[in-house]
Chains A and B, each alone.
Chain A
Amino acid sequence: MALPQPDGRRPAPAPVPFVILAGAGATFFVLPLLGLLVGAPWRSAWVLLTSSEALTALRLSLIASLSATAIALLLGVPLAWVYARVSFPGRAILRALTVLPMVLPPVVGGVALLLAFGRRGLLGGWLADVFGIHLPFTTAGAILAETFVAMPFLVITVEAGLRSMDTRFEDAARTLGARRWTVLWRVTLPLVRPSLVAGTVLCWARALGEFGATITFAGNFPGRTQTMPLAVYLALESNPQSAILLSLVLLLVSLAVLVGLRDRWLGTS
């Protein structure tokens, strides 16, 4: 039963109360999913899932969460690199601000986004006046909200990877005459690939499940800003059966990706 250790030995057996506590912990996570599975209206599942509202919400959720992940990669990887490699005054505070959305209640995050990117916001007012760009109540706004909440997961994961990697490979590449971009692309990023993948997946999963910041900043309109979690929330009141089914789809998609990637890229099985 026990997993073999890297050196092939079996680990010492754990004390029984410890195993019981672990079992209780696992049950705590399995039971709610089981509740959804048991409570789901399987008979009408196909009709509910292929309804146009469900498909519209699912499509929008995929578009928004993938776009948010792409933006997070574009901005988050350089940011993680700076946090891991460059020392500058105020780095600790800036870094704390970057991970703040992880602990901030998402609704508060949404209000903060309105105050920054809204029509009367710090930057939003200027965006509206100069470029005529309005972010609240648009799909772009939903993507912005998801990025805000999800990007910290990517940044801290990649930063941890960069900190724990052996920098001598980069030094060797540079002494051999490789340019900065080449070192980054051919040495650094491939070496931190596990953290890069893990961070990307976490970021995407968080973006997919995002609710509070999205409904506060982008509002709720089918096809434009009503992502799956919003559809679930509103359906919970008028059509709970459909809400349970939508939640299950959301859960299963995330679960499939998390399990699949764990085996494929993180080197654990």
Chain B
Amino acid sequence: MRSRVTAGLIAILLAACAGQRAPAAPTASTLTVFAASSLTDAFTRIGADFQTAHPGTTVHLTFAGSSTLAAQIQQGATGDVFASADQATMQRLADAGLVSGSPSIFARNRLQIVVAPGNPRHIGGLADLSRAGLIVLLCAPSVPCGRYASQALHAAGVTVTPASQEPDVKAVVSKVALGEADAGIVYVTDVKAAGAGVQGVDIPARFNVTADYPMAVLQDSRQAALARAFINYVLAGGQQILARDGFAAA
């Protein structure tokens, strides 16, 4: 009995060693991409297309606020590509020596005011957001969308007291969609992604902020060539998908 167990263990160990020594098929690889949450829909589709174009490659996507992802990468999360919703966050990683090569701008986004369908509170522009009795949500100042919103409000000379500084842009949209808040400042793409649940009110170009989305290969990437190929794919074939979600071409 005992010898049989031992034999079994040895067999398992041998199998494990063999598995380790066997060379992996040249194309079988997993590409880990960290992307800002505003890219969720577009990158999910781009990732699927990339997998089709590169058989044997699995694209593993992680979505979160850009600064959350940057913090994770700084704390040692390993991956191949980082796509940020703002330049400052990318710069922080570059300064820390965590990015290889110079980042490429692959998309641009603009801000919009998100309101309930039909705009029941008749919000026509940024100035209306300072009206008393209105529940307005902004992103927290540490998050790119919060920084951009305060730039736009500053440009328009409007002071807004938000009911809350939400941790990410999706939280602002979902609370407006739930009817808990009257308005918020978010990206054009988030309004589009939310569909019929909300409506967007345009911010004039002279107040609006253009958010440049940079992406780069991470220093720790073990497959820099494949990571570079993914970035090129986003810059080429991915543009159409990004445009469909409301992003402006880079």
Residues in A lying within 8 Å of B, measured CB to CB: 114, 118-120, 136-137, 215-216, 218-222, 225-226, 233-238, 240
Is A234 a contact partner of B180 (Cβ separation < 8 A)? no
Chain B CB count within 10 A is highest, among A118, A136, A218, A219, for A219
- Chain B residues within 8 Å of A226, by CB: 165
- The majority secondary structure among interface residues of chain A is loop
With A215-B167, A237-B68, A237-B70 in contact, do A221 and B162 touch (Cβ < 8 Å)? yes
How close is A142's CB to chain B, nearest CB, in angstroms? 11
With A114-B180, A120-B180 in contact, do A237 and B67 touch (Cβ < 8 Å)? yes
Q: Say yes or no: is B137 at the interface (Cβ < 8 Å to chain A).
A: yes
- Chain B residues within 8 Å of A137, by CB: 135, 163-164, 180-181
A119 to B68 Cα, complex, angstroms: 30
Is A240 a contact partner of B71 (Cβ separation < 8 A)? yes
Within B119-145, the residues touching A (CB, 8 Å) are 135, 137, 140-143
- Chain A residues within 8 Å of B175, by CB: 114, 219
From B70, B135, B164, B178, contact of A225 by CB (8 A): B164
Residues in B lying within 8 Å of A, measured CB to CB: 65, 67-68, 70-71, 74, 135, 137, 140-143, 162-167, 171, 175, 178-181
A238 to B65 Cα, complex, angstroms: 12
Is A234 a contact partner of B167 (Cβ separation < 8 A)? yes
A233 to B74 Cα, complex, angstroms: 15
Is B67 a contact partner of A119 (Cβ separation < 8 A)? no
Is A237 a contact partner of B165 (Cβ separation < 8 A)? no
Is B179 a contact partner of A120 (Cβ separation < 8 A)? yes
A235 to B71 Cα, complex, angstroms: 11
- Chain B residues within 8 Å of A215, by CB: 167, 171
Is B167 a contact partner of A118 (Cβ separation < 8 A)? no
A234 to B143 Cα, complex, angstroms: 9
Is A236 a contact partner of B137 (Cβ separation < 8 A)? no
With A219-B163, A221-B162, A238-B142 in contact, do A119 and B65 touch (Cβ < 8 Å)? no
Sample (14) of A-B pairs whose CB atoms are under 8 Å apart = A118-B178, A118-B179, A119-B179, A120-B179, A120-B180, A137-B180, A219-B137, A219-B166, A219-B175, A221-B164, A236-B71, A237-B68, A238-B142, A240-B74
How close is B140's CB to chain A, nearest CB, in angstroms? 5
A114 to B181 Cα, complex, angstroms: 11
A8 to B166 Cα, complex, angstroms: 58
A234 to B175 Cα, complex, angstroms: 19
- Chain A residues within 8 Å of B180, by CB: 114, 118-120, 136-137
Ranked 10 nearest A-B pairs via Cβ: A219-B164, A238-B142, A237-B67, A137-B163, A120-B179, A118-B180, A137-B164, A221-B164, A237-B142, A136-B180
How close is B164's CB to chain A, nearest CB, in angstroms? 3
- Chain A residues within 8 Å of B163, by CB: 136-137, 219, 221
Which partner residue on chain A sits nearest B164 by CB separation?
A219
A219 to B165 Cα, complex, angstroms: 7
A137 to B172 Cα, complex, angstroms: 12
- Chain A residues within 8 Å of B171, by CB: 215-216
- Chain A residues within 8 Å of B179, by CB: 118-120
- Chain A residues within 8 Å of B167, by CB: 215, 220, 233-234
- Chain B residues within 8 Å of A221, by CB: 162-165
- Chain A residues within 8 Å of B142, by CB: 234-235, 237-238
How close is A54's CB to chain B, nearest CB, in angstroms? 15
With A114-B180, A118-B178, A238-B142 in contact, do A220 and B166 touch (Cβ < 8 Å)? yes
Which partner residue on chain A sits nearest B179 by CB separation?
A120
Which partner residue on chain B sits nearest A120 by CB separation?
B179
- Chain A residues within 8 Å of B70, by CB: 237
- Chain A residues within 8 Å of B178, by CB: 114, 118, 120
A216 to B166 Cα, complex, angstroms: 9
A234 to B165 Cα, complex, angstroms: 10
A110 to B163 Cα, complex, angstroms: 17
- Chain B residues within 8 Å of A220, by CB: 140, 164-167
A222 to B165 Cα, complex, angstroms: 9
Known: A118-B179, A215-B167. 20 other contacts (CB 8 A): A114-B180, A118-B178, A118-B180, A119-B180, A120-B178, A120-B179, A137-B135, A137-B163, A137-B164, A215-B171, A216-B171, A219-B163, A219-B166, A220-B167, A226-B165, A234-B167, A237-B65, A237-B70, A237-B143, A240-B71
- Chain A residues within 8 Å of B68, by CB: 236-237
